Amino acid sequence: MRLEDFNNGLTTQLAVLTFLSVNGKTLILRRDHDPEDFMYGMHVAPGGKIESGETPEHAARREYFEETDLTLGNICYRGFVLFDNKERQFRGKPAKSNYLVHIFTSTLYSGELKKKDAGTPFWVLNSQLKQLKMEIGDYQLIDILESSVTLKHRVILNDHLARIEAFD
């Protein structure tokens, strides 16, 4: 399937995620600020929605700073992942949007790490990343990031499993 041909009837939001890895550790957020957040208790890479007029790179840098107080140095675009939420339920209700997420990696930063409203940031050994409580599709995303493959994938999610397909 080509990305241009994708249409499952849901709107698609544009977003970013950035994985900062330094000395064998990756910075992760534990979503623990708002118990009403459907991601409460989960672990995620810092990121968020792309604002109108913003480039994905600018959004990645802005979101990272907003969520951690860190300024990213180098930033490498790794590609995109389309989170296909047609079969998902959030708090017992059907999903309203898919997410087309631009993925970045970085190995340099400046600033002092601070807890913000997005959650509690902490460093985790890369070898222990997949032991954290995450959305099911994120485990497969980590596997792909560990390779040198450019991301052009669709993650089809329901409440219990994720299947991943590469776009043409």
pLDDT digits (tens, 9 = 90+) for 29-39: 999 988 887 78
User: Can you give the pTM of this predicted structure?
Assistant: 0.87
Is the pLDDT confidence value at 158 over 70?
no
pLDDT value at 145 more than 70: yes
- Compute the distance between CA of residue 131 and CA of residue 67 in angstroms, rounded to an integer: 22
Distance CA 150, CA 78 (A): 6
* 2 Cβ contact partners less than 8 Å away, ≥ 6 residues apart: 167, 168
Residue type, 118: A
State pLDDT tens for residues 39-80.
889 999 999 999 999 999 999 999 999 999 999 999 999 988
pLDDT value of residue 146: 83
Which tokens is 127 given? 């070898």
Residue 142: what pLDDT? Answer: 86
pLDDT at res. 153: 67
CB atoms inside a 10 Å sphere around CB 65? 16
Is residue 157 scored above 90 in pLDDT? no
Q: What is the pLDDT of residues 87-136, one digit of tens each?
A: 777 777 777 888 889 999 999 999 999 999 889 999 999 999 999 999 87
Asked whether the predicted pLDDT for residue 161 surpasses 90, the reply is no
